[in-house]
């Protein structure tokens, strides 16, 4: 079972030549856990899963599960274009010891009957909880709140949903009005985390490069210090906003930030992928200084 709070979407470190950095994966995993996150979500878009070979995908999963060693629940991304492939990936995650799987819709499958069958068949083949990844920008699939609620109400394994369709806040309310069978995690880089919590979200799944900021926001909020949580979150919002620049790519900025923090050795993003210019790096450092955070 996943915990309420921050289930960080993890990066996949590479070396400067684009090879898997296995030492970096272990070091990054330890950093996430030491930051106080309540779980880890691996092999998502943030982890450049679409640029990994089948062998690399399996290796990353096994490395992270081995390194966590039960210290935090791990959700494994198992999205695939075909139902059988998604089932095989989910079975592999279950055998490896994952606590849940995250599955987005196959691209452009805007047919609710077929999509319901897709999730039903996956659920029938595993015992792990399923996180529905609502990601219309990447998949081209818009899932209505009513349909998401139906998945939770009618498929036992479907216990969580991660929202990436803006405004997440409105969608949270609409889903919770339709079901009490789902825990909802926000997304969108953390842009609306406070508001998502205030709407009833269980937590967030995002890859913000200062996860400890989200952890503290969550702790304040759940300890009945709502206004302190709001103030602290809003104080750090400029960095969250800066990190979410789609024109540059959140993966590149986040990798640069983790490199600045001394957590990974290389900020390499596999091609095709955006790079970060010098002025952007200067702006990044300026904002980190402005909000009062440190990189080391």
Give the list of residues 6+ apart from residue 150 with CB closer than 8 angstroms, or none: 116, 178
- Burial, 54: exposed, middle or buried (Cβ in 10 Å; 0-12, 13-18, 19+)? exposed
Write the CA distances from 195 to 164, 170, 183, 190, 218, integer angstroms. Answer: 14, 10, 16, 10, 11
Rg of the chain on CA atoms, in Å = 18
Q: How far apart are CA 288 and CA 139, in angstroms?
A: 32
Asked whether 133 and 160 are in contact (CB, 8 A), the reply is: no
Q: The tokens 């996180």 sit on which residue?
A: 131
Whether residue 102 is annotated as binding a ligand: the answer is no
Q: How far apart are CA 46 and CA 65, in angstroms?
A: 18
CA dihedral over 209, 31, 57, 85, signed as positive or negative = negative
How far, in whole angstroms, is CA 207 from its chain's centroid?
Answer: 6
Write the CA distances from 190 to 108, 171, 238, integer angstroms. Answer: 26, 15, 11
User: Running DSSP on this structure, what letter comes out for residue 263?
Assistant: S
Binding-site residues from annotation for pyruvate: 205
Binding-site residues from annotation: 205
């Amino acid at each position: 079972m996943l915990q309420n709070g921050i289930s960080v979407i993890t990066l996949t470190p590479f070396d400067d030549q684009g090879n898997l950095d296995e030492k970096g994966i272990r070091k990054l995993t330890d950093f996430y856990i030491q930051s106080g996150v309540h779980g880890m979500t691996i092999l998502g878009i943030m982890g450049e899963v679409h640029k990994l070979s089948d062998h690399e995908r399996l290796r990353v999963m096994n490395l992270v599960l081995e390194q966590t060693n039960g210290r935090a629940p791990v959700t494994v991304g198992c999205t695939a274009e075909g139902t059988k492939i998604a089932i095989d990936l989910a079975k592999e995650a279950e055998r490896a010891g994952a606590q849940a799987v995250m599955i987005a819709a196959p691209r452009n499958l805007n047919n609710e009957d077929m999509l319901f069958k897709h999730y039903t068949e996956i659920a029938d083949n595993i015992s792990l909880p399923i996180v529905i990844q609502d990601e219309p920008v990447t998949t081209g699939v818009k899932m209505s709140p009513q349909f998401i609620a139906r998945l939770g109400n009618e498929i036992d394994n479907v216990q969580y949903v991660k929202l990436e369709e803006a405004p997440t806040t409105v969608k949270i309310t609409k889903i919770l009005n339709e079901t009490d069978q789902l825990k909802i995690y926000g997304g969108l880089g953390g842009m609306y985390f406070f508001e998502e919590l205030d709407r009833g979200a269980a937590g967030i799944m995002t890859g913000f490069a200062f996860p400890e900021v989200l952890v503290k926001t969550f702790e304040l909020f759940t300890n009945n210090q709502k206004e302190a949580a709001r103030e602290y979150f809003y104080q750090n919002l400029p960095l969250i906003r800066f990190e979410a620049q789609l024109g540059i790519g959140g993966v590149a900025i986040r990798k640069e930030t983790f490199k600045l923090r001394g957590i990974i050795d290389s900020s390499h993003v596999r091609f095709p992928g955006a790079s970060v210019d010098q002025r952007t790096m200067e702006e990044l450092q300026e904002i980190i200084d402005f909000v009062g955070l440190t990189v080391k």
